[in-house]
Amino acid sequence: MDKVILDYHENIVPYDRDELVHKLSQALKTKRFEHVQRVEQMAIKLARLNGVDEELASIAGLVHDYAKQRPDEDFINTIKQYQLDPDLLNYGNAIWHGYVGWILIKNELGINNIDVLEAVKYHTIGAPYMSKLAQVIYMADYIETGRDFPGVEEARQITFDNLANGVAYQTFNTLNYLINKHAAVYPKTIDTFNAWVPNAAIYRKD
Ligand SMILES: [Fe+2]
Ligand SMILES: [Fe+2]
């Protein structure tokens, strides 16, 4: 996959792409920084396939894990300060870095585009209704070229073929994984499952 470097011209971020990449290099350790750059590339590819704005895909791909390496206190304080669902306090970074992290991105990176912020918000637990951009980021994170879990090739093929089927595939597999680990499931994850999986073309029995 050839690397695509976009010139930003939509005034979504108050600086250029180089500056955004630099800010991420400061916020993240090397491995995570490399991951977000691969997610950006996959997001651009999926955006092209699905008629989604590539600049938004690039920005959201780069920033989606901006908050991933922040201490728990930052999320706990944000949940309290913004009076988010108190049940979130029973979960952890895996959910917080997206579902709460978007607020840190808004405040610290000066990004106010609602589609970008929602795409970041939903990349950890999905949502019953997701914009195409949110679906693109949700899937780009799952199938970026560095991922090598069993079934990733199948996940890529399904997603390239049909974005919504990809969302269903990931949503089913993530819930299945949590249940098999006997892990707690944040209730909104079930809402995502119910909206995407039973009616997905890839799982329909008739
Ligand atoms: Fe993430
Ligand atoms: Fe990620």
Domains identified in the chain, total number: 1
- The alpha carbon of 6 and the centre of ligand 1 are apart by a number of angstroms equal to 22
* 49 inside domain: yes
Domain of 94: which CATH number? 1.10.3210.10
> What tens digit of pLDDT does each residue of 39-81 get?
999 999 999 999 999 999 999 999 999 999 999 999 999 999 9
* 117 inside domain: yes
- The alpha carbon of 15 and the centre of ligand 2 are apart by a number of angstroms equal to 23
* 181 inside domain: no
* 23 inside domain: yes
Longest dimension (CA), the chain: 51
- The alpha carbon of 64 and the centre of ligand 2 are apart by a number of angstroms equal to 6
* 172 inside domain: no
Q: Give the domain extent around 30.
A: 17-149
* 183 inside domain: no
Nearest 5°: the CA angle 19, 24, 26 is 95
Check residue 149 and give its pLDDT: 96
Sign for the pseudo-dihedral over CA of 93, 99, 103, 108: positive
- The alpha carbon of 102 and the centre of ligand 2 are apart by a number of angstroms equal to 13
* 161 inside domain: no
Considering the entire predicted model, what is its pTM? 0.97
201 burial level (CB within 10 Å; 0-12, 13-18, 19+) = exposed
* 190 inside domain: no
